[in-house]
Amino acid sequence: LIPRLASDSPGELEEFWLRAASTLNVPQILADTLAREPPETRREFRQLLSIIRGRSGGLLLIGRPISFQKMSPAQREQALFAMANSNIAKLRQGFQAIKRLTTFIFYSAPLPDGRDNPNWPVISFAPPPPPPATPKRLHPLAITHDMKLDTDVIVVGSGAGGGVVAAELAKAGKSVIILEKGGYYSESDFTGREAEMMPKLYLKRGLQSTRDLSVMLLAGSCVGGGTTVNWSTSFRIPDEVRLEWENSLGLSDFGKDLDTHYASVEERIGVNLEHSKTPNPSNLVIERGCTKLGYHWEMIPANANHCEGRCGACGYGCPYSTKQSTMVTYLQDATDLGARLIVNCSVDRVLIERGTTTGVSATVTDPTNGVRYNITIHAPRVVIAAGSLHSPAILLRSGIRNPNLGRNLWLHPVAAVIGFYEDPIRSWEGSLQTRYSDQFAHADGDYGFKFEVAPAHPGLIGMTVPWENGRSYKALMLDAAHVAPMIVLVRDRNSGRITLDRHGEPIVDYPLGTYEKRMLMLGMQHGARVHAAAGALRVGTLHSRPLLFDTSPDMPEERWKKYDQGVIERGLQPNRSIIFSAHQMGTCRMAGNMRQGVINNDNLVWDVRGLYVADASTFPTASGCNPMLTIMAIAHRAAQAILAGM
Ligand SMILES: Cc1cc2nc3c(=O)[nH]c(=O)nc-3n(C[C@H](O)[C@H](O)[C@H](O)COP(=O)(O)OP(=O)(O)OC[C@H]3O[C@@H](n4cnc5c(N)ncnc54)[C@H](O)[C@@H]3O)c2cc1C
């Protein structure tokens, strides 16, 4: 994948071409990473290696019965490219598993002696400055033995939903315990370095995906959950979504007072437009391109203040406390009022006796030595806010049998369309999301897609840039500083499902529906035109069979046909292109009746007393906009309902 390549370029550049993955200790880091995966994943990986190691693998991939080790470098590249584009889904999946890990490590990991990744200077990446020393303001409970505790309310998860509920209940004088599976990292821990922060702050150390690897799932797992790592975009749901929720799911009261809840949350997390007044070059692409084409674009409201675009590493936690995550707002309020926070604490199940909630059982793992402690907490009320992937898993493990549980998973699937610009873009610098376009938000009735931009640091760029052979891949990486990644964020209609594996962990299945594929492709087609109008010299997609296309600002529509055709021909079968999701929604959805949902209008699980859900999993359908603010408003609303029932 990343071989040693001859070059007549001078100095650092020659070293870059000569640098193979093996010289950066990538195989060992990859092995260490896989060692932390469940046995099933390791078994699958070994099976994959044994296929490509065998002579039949050679026959399958390059039409010659030779094992991978015996192939010439050129044959190996041919074999890998064949794997990436194979008609056998498992081979494409295998290629993605190897490529994503290898390239992420190669472009993000430090040297064994701690020095910076040597690839950074040639791609013009400078890591953010070290975080200023800031004292830790939360004080999680130290757990050093098995224990039993009592409280009024247990809140499971400290993200967008959990943080708000915990604070609102603590404000009302209730005794609250917040249980968070992830660790507590705060400002002075946020180095902005991908290889270091990804495993600490993200679910499954950043490796969460759908079962077939076809959608990469980004979700926070730390104190503050997604709000610690997210990009600050703070939208209210569009009116048509609110109507859809009220009219099709028997939630006629849903919208009542919702604006009051939004307003309260917006005030606490300081949503403002001021932050977006200084767009970075990536966001300016949307402004310039959409203005030129006469398309809609607007500034994005954000829950960040006085950011001044100092670093651009918000995806790895804000070292300056300017992003108003739940860690610096609601969890601070809750713990100041006496709420207890337990971290590295995974809730195994809710305890339910004769239809009434009595508490939870959980496991605390000491991150320094792996020692585990069992804790049982008794409470008459439990609020599950573990996010759309884990909330249904906890309820399934607790024996809830509602057939809707785990179903109706929406992901807002995202494809990127990239533009190459003459001037540097450095998508890793400045405020992440400040411009969006809803030009195609109603491409299909109330459904369609948004254009936004995504920040990309070297590891993420390495993971996603198409690989055709070692040389073309590195040549693309050399352009990294000049690439603007625009994203097509689709409001999905079709949904996926969460089930449990044999260890009780969630398995995510999400086949892209025909409508979602059509929207993603339409987005890639029109996004390229926005790039061209903004002055991109070349545009491209993230398909495994690269689609790169030279452009000019006033290119006639006739010429676009070839590019449009390229998008359609490559298609969106699993693992033929990179698809992301940072917005997991649904799986415990709210509905006015038990036939359609898992919780009622008051966030109470149907048929169980004292058990509530208050996070993204409650969404009745996909929100059609970045969900954080709506999750918080729903959690704020849920807190009032819980208090009313106490
Ligand atoms: C990189 C990224 C960028 C994003 N950008 C934006 C944005 O700009 N605007 C926006 O609106 N949205 C954004 N989002 C999405 C948004 O952050 C999430 O939708 C939101 O945080 C979800 O809230 P939640 O309460 O459902 O779950 P989360 O915030 O994910 O919190 C759930 C918490 O529960 C914990 N947990 C899970 N299982 C257990 C268990 N068994 N026991 C105890 N704890 C458990 C998890 O560790 C996690 O911390 C982004 C997300 C990501 C990942």
* pLDDT greater than 90 at residue 306: no
Average pLDDT over residues 577-601: 97
Count of CB atoms situated within 10 Å of the CB of 423: 9
> In the prediction, which pLDDT does 34 show?
92
Q: How far apart are CA 30 and CA 107, in angstroms?
A: 13
Determine whether the shortest distance from the Cβ of 237 to ligand 1 is under 6 A: no
Q: How confident is the model at residue 581 (pLDDT cuts 50, 70, 90)?
A: very high
When mean pLDDT is compared across 243-257, 334-348, 462-476, the lowest value belongs to: 243-257
Determine whether the shortest distance from the Cβ of 231 to ligand 1 is under 6 A: yes
Angstrom distances, CA of residue 521 to CA of 124, 150, 448, 507, 537: 31, 53, 11, 27, 21
Which residue in the block uniquely carries the two structure tokens 């499971």?
Answer: 156
Measuring from atom 2 of ligand 1, which residue has the nearest CA?
230
> In the prediction, which pLDDT does 26 show?
95
The 10s digit of each residue's pLDDT in 79-107 is: 999 999 999 999 999 999 999 999 999 99
Average pLDDT over residues 355-366: 98
The SS3 call for residue 42 is helix
Largest CA distance in the chain: 75
Q: How far apart are CA 4 and CA 216, in angstroms?
A: 29
Q: How confident is the model at residue 634 (pLDDT cuts 50, 70, 90)?
A: very high
- Give the ranges where 109-187 is alpha helix by DSSP (H): 160-171
Q: Which residues share a beta bridge with 548?
A: 540
The 10s digit of each residue's pLDDT in 455-497 is: 999 999 999 999 999 999 999 999 999 999 999 999 999 999 9
Residues 218-253: b if buried by 16+ CB within 10 A, e if exposed: bbbbbbbbbbbbbbbbbbbbbeebbebbbeebbbee
Residue 583 known to be catalytic: yes
Determine whether the shortest distance from the Cβ of 455 to ligand 1 is under 6 A: no
Percent of the chain topping pLDDT 70: 100
> In the prediction, which pLDDT does 384 show?
99
* pLDDT greater than 90 at residue 309: no
* pLDDT greater than 90 at residue 20: yes
Residue 85 in contact with residue 77, Cβ under 8 Å? no
> In the prediction, which pLDDT does 10 show?
86
DSSP-assigned letter for residue 298: E
User: How many residues belong to the chain?
Assistant: 646
* pLDDT greater than 90 at residue 420: yes
Residues 318-337: b if buried by 16+ CB within 10 A, e if exposed: bbbbbbbbbbbbbbebbbeb
The 10s digit of each residue's pLDDT in 496-551 is: 999 999 999 999 999 999 999 999 999 999 999 999 999 999 999 999 999 999 99
Q: Are strands 506-509 and 497-500 parallel, antiparallel or unpaired?
A: antiparallel
Q: How confident is the model at residue 121 (pLDDT cuts 50, 70, 90)?
A: very high
* Cα dihedral across residues 96, 98, 103, 109: positive or negative: positive
Average pLDDT over residues 595-612: 97
Q: Which residues share a beta bridge with 483?
A: 420
Determine whether the shortest distance from the Cβ of 180 to ligand 1 is under 6 A: yes
Residues ≥6 apart with Cβ < 8 Å to 267: none
> In the prediction, which pLDDT does 236 show?
98
Q: Which atom of ligand 1 is nearest to the CA of 182?
A: 47
Q: Which atom of ligand 1 is nearest to the CA of 231?
A: 8
Question: Closest by alpha carbon to 643, among 601, 602, 593?
Answer: 602
Q: How far apart are CA 460 and CA 485, in angstroms?
A: 11
* pLDDT greater than 90 at residue 552: no
Structure tokens at 566: 């390229």
State the distance from the centre of ligand 1 to the C-alpha of 476, rounded, in angstroms.
Answer: 32
The SS3 call for residue 212 is coil
* pLDDT greater than 90 at residue 424: yes
Q: How far apart are the first and last CA of the chain?
A: 59
Determine whether the shortest distance from the Cβ of 269 to ligand 1 is under 6 A: no
Question: Closest by alpha carbon to 521, among 473, 488, 550?
Answer: 488
> In the prediction, which pLDDT does 157 show?
98
* pLDDT greater than 90 at residue 289: yes
Measuring from atom 27 of ligand 1, which residue has the nearest CA?
387
State the distance from the centre of ligand 1 to the C-alpha of 79, rounded, in angstroms.
Answer: 38
State the distance from the centre of ligand 1 to the C-alpha of 233, rounded, in angstroms.
Answer: 13
* pLDDT greater than 90 at residue 423: yes
* pLDDT greater than 90 at residue 73: yes
* Stated pTM of the model: 0.98
> In the prediction, which pLDDT does 553 show?
79
Residue 542 in contact with residue 580, Cβ under 8 Å? no
> In the prediction, which pLDDT does 197 show?
97
The 10s digit of each residue's pLDDT in 164-202 is: 999 999 999 999 999 999 999 999 999 999 999 999 999
> In the prediction, which pLDDT does 167 show?
98
Average pLDDT over residues 600-623: 97
Torsion of CA 47, 49, 51, 53, to 10 degrees: -140
The 10s digit of each residue's pLDDT in 554-578 is: 889 999 999 999 999 999 999 999 9
Q: How far apart are CA 588 and CA 198, in angstroms?
A: 27
State the distance from the centre of ligand 1 to the C-alpha of 226, rounded, in angstroms.
Answer: 3
> In the prediction, which pLDDT does 587 show?
98
Angle at 103 between CA 101 and CA 105, to 5 degrees: 70
Q: How confident is the model at residue 605 (pLDDT cuts 50, 70, 90)?
A: very high
Structure tokens at 430: 């400045």
